[in-house]
């Protein structure tokens, strides 16, 4: 009987729990999309605390990301396995920085972040291919979040 790489992880382990996006990364199809969906309640909760709390929470998600993602990847023995979705959580939080709290903007941000994360236009694709370890897992999603955040701010400015 063969085992899946994710069988080497445990949701009872706090690092694995975060790396797997609270379990959302275990979705059999489109785990990155489910990881981004799991980020929406995190966004909403952080936004309730105001801008400072939101920025600090986002910085914390980014800061712990390389360790969390790298540890889960090492424990599975596979770099950037699809089930590792903490990078999507951090990327979505970046996307939603300074965005009004509303379900419309949450969905727009979701769509924009997934667009940049899936298509990986240059230089996102370059980061995805060139960086290794936990930092490499995080880097492309951080940049996808920055690109999506810039588009969000442009939309907020023109609408």
What is the model's pTM? Answer: 0.95
Instruction: For 74-121, write each residue's pLDDT tens digit.
Output: 999 998 899 999 999 999 999 999 999 999 999 999 999 999 999 999
Question: The domain containing residue 47 runs over which residues?
Answer: 11-158
In a domain, 101, yes or no: yes
pLDDT at 2 over 80: no
Instruction: For residue 6, say if its preceding peptide bond is cis, omega within 30 degrees of 0.
Output: no
In a domain, 4, yes or no: no
- Burial of 3: CB neighbours in 10 Å, binned 0-12, 13-18, 19+: exposed
Query: Which of 3-17, 56-70, 75-89, 136-150 is the least confident region?
Result: 3-17
Q: How far apart are CA 72 and CA 16, in angstroms?
A: 6
Average pLDDT over residues 123-139: 92
Q: What's the pLDDT at 107?
A: 98
In a domain, 1, yes or no: no
Instruction: For 35-48, write each residue's pLDDT tens digit.
Output: 999 999 999 999 99
In a domain, 132, yes or no: yes
């Amino acid at each position: 009987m063969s085992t899946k790489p994710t069988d080497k992880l445990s949701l009872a382990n706090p690092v694995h729990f975060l790396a797997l996006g609270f379990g959302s990364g275990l979705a059999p199809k489109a785990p990155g999309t489910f990881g981004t969906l799991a980020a929406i309640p995190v966004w909403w909760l952080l936004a309730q605390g105001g801008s400072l709390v939101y920025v600090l929470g986002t910085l914390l998600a980014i800061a712990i990301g390389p360790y969390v993602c790298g540890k889960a990847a090492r424990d599975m023995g596979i770099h950037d396995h699809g089930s590792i979705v903490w990078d999507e959580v951090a990327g979505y939080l970046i996307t939603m920085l300074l965005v009004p709290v509303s379900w419309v903007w949450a969905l727009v941000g979701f769509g924009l972040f997934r667009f940049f994360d899936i298509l990986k236009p240059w230089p996102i694709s370059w980061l995805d291919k060139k960086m290794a370890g936990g930092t490499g897992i995080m880097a492309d999603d951080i940049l996808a979040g920055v690109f999506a955040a810039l588009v969000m701010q442009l939309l907020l400015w023109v609408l």
